[in-house]
Amino acid sequence: MNSMERRQRILALAREHGAVDVQKLAADLAVSPETVRRDLHRLEQQGLVRRTHGGAYPVETARFETTLDTRTTRLVTEKRRIATAAAQLLGDAESIFVDEGYTPRLIAEALPAERALTVVTASLDTAAILAASPATTVLLLGGRVRGRTRATVDHWAVDMLAGFVIDLAFVGANGISRQHGLTTPDPAVAAVKAQVITVSRRVVFAGVHTKFGSSSFCRFADVADVDTVVTDVGLPASEAHRYSLLGPVVQRV
């Protein structure tokens, strides 16, 4: 196996499992840890992975996106803290949007069940969770269902959103950076998210620290379009401050 074949194998494993470990890769590929680290460094230079202490995880691109099920296995403790903090930003909102994705689904679970709310969502999973609450009116956006995220997209969803004025939107993204704003790999998903930003009075971005500094294929909002950013303490305070200079309040929990 030459170096190119080895890197392709490492990338395939990262995408399959959601992350890779240097020591395990070295044993499986019968090479030294130093060789694996060099391979990961090269893949990071190409924008295909991001390195962590002892390993790496795949960067989402126009051709690759992690599944919803994979997202439920990574940084779960941090995502639950973020979701709890985000739900506390509800304020006096009566109509809210809850985005597709695992962290938004956790936000939906953290919403007060006894409070009368109208919730708009593209996520089949989130709609099913909230429909069990007698006090909650759930509006599920129509459209094509994407299997990877179990959420609706395309012009049906965008057109339906255009008829709403939403008090508060909880949105996610595959990447957020000061240079490129909020991004996602799929143009159809980006169109739905962009329309959400347009029709919402207040926008909260909720996402783990690993999303920061990353950018995917389709930009749907600027950082300045977001009122509040909720993330975990894995994002350095200095970097959080840089994002806050662009407009949003940044909370690290």
Pull the structure tokens for residue 212: 């920061």
Average pLDDT over residues 199-224: 94
121 and 242 together in one domain: yes
Distance from C-alpha of 67 to C-alpha of 53, rounded to nearest angstrom = 23
pTM over 0.85: no
Closest listed residue to residue 82, CA positions, set 235, 236, 216, 243: 235
β-pair type (95-98, 166-171): parallel
52 and 85 together in one domain: no
Distance from C-alpha of 53 to C-alpha of 183, rounded to nearest angstrom = 25
137 and 229 together in one domain: yes
Confidence category of residue 48, pLDDT binned at 50, 70, 90: confident
Distance from C-alpha of 41 to C-alpha of 37, rounded to nearest angstrom = 6
- Which residue matches tokens 């490129």? 180
Residue 94's pLDDT is: 98
23 and 137 together in one domain: no
205 and 227 together in one domain: yes
Average pLDDT over residues 148-175: 96
146: CATH? 3.40.50.1360
In a domain, 64, yes or no: no
16 and 94 together in one domain: no
pLDDT at residue 178 above 70?
A: yes
pLDDT at residue 16 above 90?
A: no
Residue 69 C-alpha from the chain's centroid: 13
The answer to whether 49 and 13 are in contact (CB under 8 A) is no
154 and 231 together in one domain: yes
Q: 55 or 64: which carries more pLDDT confidence?
A: 55
β-pair type (175-177, 218-221): unpaired
Closest listed residue to residue 204, CA positions, set 110, 83, 120, 122: 83
Q: Structurally, how many domains does the chain consist of?
A: 2
Confidence category of residue 1, pLDDT binned at 50, 70, 90: confident
Q: What's the domain range around 98?
A: 69-252
13: CATH? 1.10.10.10
| 244 DSSP 8-state letter | H
Residue 133 C-alpha from the chain's centroid: 25
pLDDT at residue 126 above 80?
A: yes
In a domain, 90, yes or no: yes
In a domain, 138, yes or no: yes
In a domain, 49, yes or no: yes
121 and 229 together in one domain: yes
37 and 74 together in one domain: no
In a domain, 248, yes or no: yes
In a domain, 79, yes or no: yes
118 and 44 together in one domain: no
171 and 76 together in one domain: yes
pLDDT at residue 165 above 70?
A: yes
127 and 48 together in one domain: no
Residue 150's pLDDT is: 94
In a domain, 184, yes or no: yes
Residue 42: phi, psi to the nearest 5? Answer: -65, -45
